[in-house]
Amino acid sequence: MPMPSGRLDADADAPRYAVFGQPIAHSLSPRIHATFGRQLGIALDYRAIEVGRDGLAATLAEFAAAGGCGANLTLPLKETAAALCATLSPRVRACGSVNTIVRNGSGWHGDSTDGAGLVRDLTVRHGIDLRERRLLLLGAGGAARAVLPALLDAGVGETILVNRTPQRADVLADAFAAHRVRACRWHELAACGAFDLVVNATSAGHGATMPHLPASLLAAHAVCYDLSYGPAARDFLAWARAAGAARSLDGLGMLVEQAAEAFACWHGAHPDTDPVYAALREG
């Protein structure tokens, strides 16, 4: 049987799962899924496999031939993966981004658990009521597209999108115009009033600088959330604290929650995420 690229030689009897991405070496997903499996007594072999967009189709075919049952997709593969799936969940049809695939007969079924992961982290872990919150969403990439429908489903109120490349924010806002969503330009933000919730779904924290954000964006009791975590979330969260945010949160909880949603897709059981989150927080 052909073996996929990566490290699929140990635990030969356990059902195979993986996270594909580029770069992938520092992914926390293998640790998270191994811990979930131990917690629920489910044997699994979950590896990180490095592959770029061009190699994804062949690597997924290899993985399936070697018995791969399911996988996660991360940067830069989420849209490419959607095109390779035989079937897509309604969540993917709403956002065009796949982060979880399940082997289904002779093809892959694509799903997106990022939005559910963010909403669960905000509402269940942090106890935040999202209903009618005025939302500013920074970014219009894959993650922004994945979290917007979930935040709207959770009941957020008027929503403004801003993106470095304004046309991408326009396209996203147009797709959700029926839900009080509109785009604005970055330089117009100061005139947009105050927001209850500001979600940073840009990748600017990975070594770039974000355009200026006025402190006047934050309402009293505003919550600021960066989808990134670790050093990549540092600058945005420092801005949030300096601007007077009541809560400033990073995306580590979302990472654990989207993984738990993927785990439930594959294994039919939802793990307890709190101990895994606490362990990752400790380092």
Q: Which residues bind ligand NDP (CB under 6 A)?
A: 75, 114, 117, 139-144, 163-165, 168, 201-204, 206, 208-211, 227-229, 232, 251, 254-255, 258
* Cα–Cα distance, 133 to 136 (Å, whole number): 10
Residue with smaller CB distance to ligand NDP, 139 or 149: 139
Smallest distance, ligand NDP to C-beta of residue 108, A: 19
What amino acid positions are annotated as catalytic residues? 78
- Residue count of the chain, please give it: 283
What is the torsional sign of CA 28, 77, 113, 200?
positive
Distance set, CA 155 to CA 19, 119, 132, 202 (Å): 31, 10, 6, 22
For ligand NDP, give the closer residue by CB, 92 or 144. Answer: 144
Specify whether the backbone of 136 is left (phi greater than 0), alpha (psi in -120 to 50) or beta: beta
Using CB positions, name the residue nearest to ligand NDP.
Answer: 141
Question: Could you give the CA distance from residue 257 to residue 19 in angstroms, rounded to a whole number?
Answer: 15
Nearest to 260 by CA among 49, 23, 28: 28
Is the CB of 107 or the CB of 166 nearer to ligand NDP? 166
Residue 144 or residue 160: which is nearer to ligand NDP going by CB?
Answer: 144
Strand 135-138 with 195-200, pairing: parallel
Taking the complex as a whole, the smallest distance from the CB of residue 205 to ligand NDP amounts, in Å, to: 6
CB of 167 to ligand NDP, least distance (A): 9
